[in-house]
Structure 1
Amino acid sequence: MTEQRKLPDPPKTLLERAESMFGLGGYKPAPVPDELAKPVNRRVSKRKEEASPAEVAKPAAQAPVAPSVPEVAPEPVYEDVRFPDAIHPVDRDCLARHGLIQPEGQVTALLEEFRIVKRRVLAAVRKAQESGSDAMAQRVLVCSPLPDEGKSFCAVNLALAMAAEKDSEVLLVDADFAKPSVLKMLGLPKGPGFMDVLARDDLKVEDCVLATDIAGLHVLPAGNHTTSDSEFLASHRTAEVLDRLTRGSPKRIVIFDSPPALAASPAAELANHVGQAIVVARADRTGQSSLEDALTLLSACPDIKLLLNAAHFSPSGRRFGAYYGEEA
């Protein structure tokens, strides 16, 4: 048989040996409290039912105050702009001598041609307004590359044709300060005008406008010529003055008869303030290089159109005006 001996007891731990030597009454683990002390360095959330009476008695905290919204400055209120009521008759004999449209006359080839031109101009104005353009859309610049190409002739005829519109009116501005001709062509009296308003802060532009006996037609003279025409046009006052010409009148078209683009700098300055420009090229005189140079100077204008003047040949056989004189 295999000899069986009693296995030795496992060795005592250090604490058990100390207890047997010093009689500590038996080793027992340290008591563990049922609830630990609450930490003092953090916020303890309490349920509503466990809140103390003192806390219940406290008034409810006020709702957070919304941040104050800065007051929006009210939109400026502009004064109404009205043109003078005094009527100045247009000399029909002057219109005839300069070969211009007769407002009460028969339909002619000239009138029919400018009816087509004004339709293009008005269509461009409406398109620009629908796209959100400002009052610049209502301003049209008429000029030519060089003198004697018919820009004043076209500007006045365009204004006369546009004055006959039922849904709009026109203001013809003589912006050829060095050689104004609009008043002479219409037989109107001289007076203060566009340049005087730019040079004087105490003068209102609407007070210089001439109402005519042609329904829907107003004229603003050029005013007194200065040696600083371009500098006045480049000043901040120009925008203020032009704004007054169309304020409260979204259907008013302002036509500027400017100096030739290659002969005087005001044309290029005015191109910054108009929505479209009509460059008049004379069929028997205007060269390609001068036309290209003029278009470059007027490039600030977003919409530039070309108008061919003094063209006597029509490949298609166009004969505007003759149709109305034929008997049925």
Structure 2
Amino acid sequence: MSTIEKALAKQKSAQQELTNNQNVEQVNKSLSATSSETESTIQTTASAQQQYVEQQSREIYIDNDKLTERGFLHSGGDAHHQQEEFRHIKRKLLNNAFGAASKTLKQSNLIMVSSANPNEGKTFVSINLALSVALEQDKTVLLVDADVLRPSLHRELEFENDTGLLDYLCGDTDNVAEIIYPTNLVNLKIMPAGSVHHLTNELLASERMAKLANELSARYPDRVVIFDSPPLLGVTETPVLASLVGQAVVVAEESKTKIEDIKRATSQLDEELAIGFVLNKTIKTSKDVYGYYGYGYGRKK
């Protein structure tokens, strides 16, 4: 073999070795990228699974069968008359919240439910209204236990009164999402009252509460927020709450609530509120198809 041929063979061998090295480097890079992508996918999947588990652990389970046994609404038709009555009430509230009247009301999608005195059915009405709104196809509802002196949503719906409204107002948590709990009903979320505190009036009257109300009203344009509130008479917290909402529903018990009490109770509400009345525990007659609830609406005069 001549000197030239040897030189050409050596050059070819060097080029082949360089090509092999480049191929090996490309394979290594490809393997490294695949490994990184796989690791990232595994981490993402694990994170998603963890979030799902955490959400499931926070979810409040609404037992429709138990609610039905106790006279509450559910998605079935066993209490048709009751569902229809709450549909009528709900429709007026939704029209005020999202219709033409919403332009004249401050935070019209925030609704407080109260009564003149205790034990007249305000929590019963609050829950049924929330369950009825949750049946809407294009609306969601947040039910807030704002009866911070005597919280009862957790007893009625059978869940733990975990971190809630008062904990947020105290500054124990700064994340609003931590005090809003999902339920097994897609369109319904719940905010418990939270830990008992001796400064409930001051907390509800705080700037932090006002900002929370603004956030709840504005964050989701399709959301209705229902506050199960303390009675109006003898409780200083309720008028404070009333200043933050656009609508108020006052529950009265037939043959029990006095007209004078209703007048005194509503006199504490802001004149700009849209105020509705629900007559609870009425006696069904042959002339009344539904019988259990009546609803009246009007601006306070």
- Is TM-score (shorter-chain normalized) higher than 0.5? yes
* Contact 2:115-2:231 at 8 Å conserved across structures: yes
* AA at the equivalent of 1:291: I
Q: CA deviation at 1:195?
A: 1.1
Which runs of structure 2 are paired with 1:317-328 in the superposition (5 Å)?
317-319=288-290
The answer to whether the Cα contact below 8 Å between 2:161 and 2:193 also exists between their aligned partners in 1 is no
**Hey, what does 1:303 align to over in structure 2?**
274
SS in 1 for 2:195: coil
Q: CA deviation at 1:107?
A: 4.9
- The one of 89, 92, 111 equivalent to 2:61 is 89
The reply to whether residue 231 of structure 1 matches residue 184 of structure 2 is no
Structure 2 vs 1, CA of residues 178 and 160 (structure 1 numbering), >3 Å: closer, same or farther? same
Structure 2 residues not aligned, in runs of 5+: 1-53, 293-301
Structure 2 CA distance, aligned partners of 1:285 and 1:320?
A: 17
Q: Which residue of 1 aligns with 2:94?
A: 122
Equivalent in the alignment of 2:183: 212
The equivalences for 1:186-225 within 5 A come to 186-200=157-171, 202-225=173-196
- Tell me by how many angstroms 1:208 deviates: 1.0
Kindly state the Cα deviation for residue 263 of structure 1 after the two structures are TM-superposed: 3.3
Match of 1:111 among 72, 83, 87: 83
Deviations 1:292-327 (A, max 9, x none): 010011235521111111111457432479xxxxxx
Aligned residue number for residue 229 of structure 2: 258
Q: Structure 2 vs 1, CA of residues 294 and 128 (structure 1 numbering), >3 Å: closer, same or farther?
A: farther
Unaligned runs of 5+ in 1: 1-83, 322-328
AA of the residue aligned to 1:268? P
Q: TM-score, normalised by structure 1?
A: 0.67
Inter-CA distance 112–240: structure 2 relative to 1 (3 Å threshold): same
Are 1:98 and 2:70 an aligned pair?
A: yes
Q: How far apart, CA to CA, are the structure 1 residues paired with 2:175 and 2:271?
A: 27
1:171 matched to 2:148? The reply is no
Amino acid at match of 2:258: G
Letter in 1 for 2:128: N
Higher helix share: 2
Letter in 1 for 2:88: I
The answer to whether residue 209 in structure 2 is matched with residue 243 in structure 1 is: no
TM-score, normalized by length of structure 2? 0.73
SS at structure 1 position matched to 2:108? helix
Q: Deviations over 1:103-129 (max 9, x none)?
A: 345452111110111011001112366
Task: Give the whole-Å Cα distance in 1 for the aligned partners of 2:136 and 2:73.
Answer: 14
Residue correspondences, number: 237
Judging changes above 3 Å, is the alpha-carbon distance between structure 1 residues 120 and 315 closer, same or farther for their aligned structure 2 residues?
farther
Aligned to 1:268: 239
Change (3 A) 1:163 1:225: same
- Equivalent residues of 1:141, 1:255 under 8 A apart: yes
Q: Which protein shows a greater Rg?
A: 1
Give CA deviations for 1:181-212 in whole Å, capped at 9, x if unaligned: 11221122220111111111643222111100
Question: Distance in 1 between the 2:271 and 2:173 partners?
Answer: 30
Would the alpha carbon gap of residues 277 and 314 (structure 1) be closer, same or farther in structure 2, given more than 3 Å must change?
Answer: farther
**Could you tell me the percent identity over the aligned residues?**
33
In 2, the alpha carbon distance for the partners of 1:200 and 1:144 equals 30
Contact 2:85 2:290 in 1 (8 A): no
Distance 2:100 2:171 in 1: 32
Deviation at 1:168, TM superposition (A): 0.5
